[in-house]
Structure 1
Amino acid sequence: MGSRVTRLIRNFNLENRAQREISKTKPTAAPRHPSSRSPGEELPGEVHLKNDPLLSMLKDVYVESKDPDPQAEAGPEVKKVEEDTPRRALKYSLPGDPYGFCDVTDVPKGRLSLVEALTALNNHKRLPKTWTPEKLAQEYSLDPKDAKALTEFFFPFDIKIIPPKTEETQQIKDS
């Protein structure tokens, strides 16, 4: 109810007040400094004069441009990596083509595909005594240091349930 009253007071005689503000004389702008020029004015003649030292330096510059070859730009580095590193066949892959991973058939040694990484981490989590970092390194052609870091710092699907601090707090029960 109060908002209706304030809206009525605020909008009372709105058109007349707006017309009064529009018809007021506007303040004049401050005069410009004589050094500033408008865009249409001519520049002084010194701009059009030749500067011999700059002209001689400009004559020394020679620029030759060519369009880059798109295949040569991306090709050699990619081919070099593919040719230099020995590759191994995938151990595990996804069935079908759900995410576009099926076009990958092999990976460089020392690397893992996403599916292989998840499988290796899951195996290590389920059976840590069987799937040691050394066995993972041997199985997937990894550096032992990388395999140890993989098992030490990455935990797939690790859920921790923190118990409530007080008895008043309710906890969701598993069904």
Structure 2
Amino acid sequence: MSNMGARVARIFRNFNLENRAHREISKSKPRAAPRHPTESSVLQSDTADTITEDIHQKNNPLLSMLKDVYVESKDPVPQGEPVAVVKKVEQETERRLLKFSLPGDPYGICDITDVPKGKLSIVEALTALNNHKRMPKTWTPEKLAQEYSLDKKDAKALTEFFIPFDVKIIPPKLEETKRIKDS
């Protein structure tokens, strides 16, 4: 049934197609919009010369008003936060010396001599994680927090979620294992 409908639609669509096309082509075309004046015509006008003169001319009243302007700027205190928080940010963070560093100068890591308290360098983090993995009873998150000036919460998260050097060795296949044979 749909095939029949398509044929009927095609017949009406193609009916008198050539005449309709000639009628559209023979219609008069709309006129094009006028062109915008180019830079050369604007530059040749007398107004352009007066504008450039006005730009380069010194305006004494404006200069005197500009000399009277004095701007003093202060940072506003954030709403809802006490003033002590703002002063605390201005103070420098306490720093501590590195416990461990790499010998030599690989990748520019040795340029670092101290880190802020509550932070770890890459070498210190790997050393702490390795110590915790080898001796978890000795290197507890509390001891790591005390040793590296970390929060106890951060030290616990470090030991819980970061697992370095986790190597799994897959034993070699033995000939005794059963295999599916290709037919």
Which TM-score applies when normalising by structure 1? 0.49
Q: Which has the larger share of helix?
A: 2
Larger Rg: 2
Which TM-score applies when normalising by structure 2? 0.47
